[in-house]
Amino acid sequence: MDLIRAQKGTQDLLPVQTEKWQVVEDVMRSEAKIHGFGEIRTPVFEDTRLFQRSVGETTDVVQKEMYTFNDKGGRSITLRPEGTAGAVRAMLEHGVYNDGLPIKMYYFTSCYRYENTQAGRLREFHQFGVELFGASSPMADAEVIGMAKSIFDRLGVRNLSLEINSIGCPDCRAKYYDALRTYFSAYKDQLCETCQGRLERNPMRILDCKSPICSKIAAGAPRMLDYLCDDCKAHFEGVKSGLTAANIEFTVNPSIVRGLDYYTRTVFEFVSNDLGAQSTVCGGGRYDGLVEEMGGQHMPALGFGLGMERLMMILDAQKVEFPAPETCDLYIASLGDAAKLESYKLAHRLQEYSISATFDMNDRALKAQMKYADKIGAKYTIVLGDNELETNRADIKNMKTGEKEKISLGDDFVEQFVILQTKQEDTLAF
């Protein structure tokens, strides 16, 4: 019978990998708490209209990449391609805005896009994201960007550069769209079929096209920064002042537009030099019109998404050291049915005090049990047989030093083990 394998564009994360993911996630949760963000969890699938309305009909995500299907009730359902739309929907549906502004949320989420797979680009991928609703100040932009940088700094990530841009508001963008249409119309016959369709509906999407020909043409296109209205100019200058005040280095990159239609004003990316073509590990910005677009009152908003797979690739490439994984504190080997039952009882007592302990569950020979204890990195071992059960005492062995010491199996077993463990670890540290 053929072995069923994971689907293309997906991957399994085994315990040796998830241990590292958990370390990274703990740093992210810590930074979120420091900055006053609370966790939100939203469904993996939503009404398709949610993403059509928020992400944008002219984006590659909606046109080419979404996993969309009709459920058994005939409803059009889509697996989430990104996290922001679901967070906005939940915030509006549950009236979270009544709790006072600003609203700060973060999430760990899986996302789904039908893409050509390559290193750093999967069909199921994971993001850490933050959303901040109800803050219009450019200092909020600097705060969110600074939070992302703090995560990278705590993880020890090197060779990252911050690139920022402003793509204006609907008012100044209308004039910019006119300039883009004029420019790209001269090259219409050379544009790819998709971009020819974008020319009238959303010409700024052409700037984000992956086609080499379209990219080359777009390199000479007008810049949004030259069309910003006074308010958008002032906001962008405020963001730059905030980043400078926090000693956060940045580069203004006029070509950044982001891939989703809901962005306004500030957009930013953290770019790595260690990822090859897939260089962006974190991207975000403002989306001041999104809440209103989705049926709520006008509410300024901003956030970012940080790709977990790409971040782990960077950490691996840079050989960032992770803490040694926690291993078993005590492995209890046993010989005979009575000893096996006692080994389970002792392990259970240790576990009740949050001490990692395990025992033989496979009726293996003693040599095989000790080999297994070594494989799982057990710090201490005990062997139980008829003699140990009769005397209610056993030798406990430090697997690192080979040192042995008698320990009682009575009511004070857990207390004795903790004292012994603490004493020996203090001695090794000294």
Q: Is residue 429 predicted with pLDDT exceeding 50?
A: no
Strand 330-334 to 357-359 pairing: parallel
Stated pTM of the model: 0.89
Closest CA to 413 of 397, 393, 383: 393
Distances (CA, A) of 156 to 23, 166, 300, 320: 12, 29, 32, 7
**Per-chain mean pLDDT for the chain:** 92
- Specify the 3-state DSSP secondary structure of 247: coil
- What's the whole-number mean pLDDT along residues 319-330? 92
Whether 204 contacts 176, CB under 8 Å: yes
Place of tokens 């019978």: 1
- What's the whole-number mean pLDDT along residues 102-111? 97
User: What share of the chain has pLDDT > 90, as a percent?
Assistant: 79
Q: Is residue 370 predicted with pLDDT exceeding 80?
A: yes
49 or 201, which is more confident: 49
Q: Is residue 425 predicted with pLDDT exceeding 80?
A: no
pLDDT at 87: 96
What is the distance between the alpha carbons of residues 205 and 261, in angstroms, rounded to a whole number? 8
Query: From the DSSP assignment, how many helices (H) and strands (E) are in the chain?
Result: 15, 16
What is the distance between the alpha carbons of residues 376 and 358, in angstroms, rounded to a whole number? 10
How many CB atoms neighbour CB 39 within 10 A?
A: 11
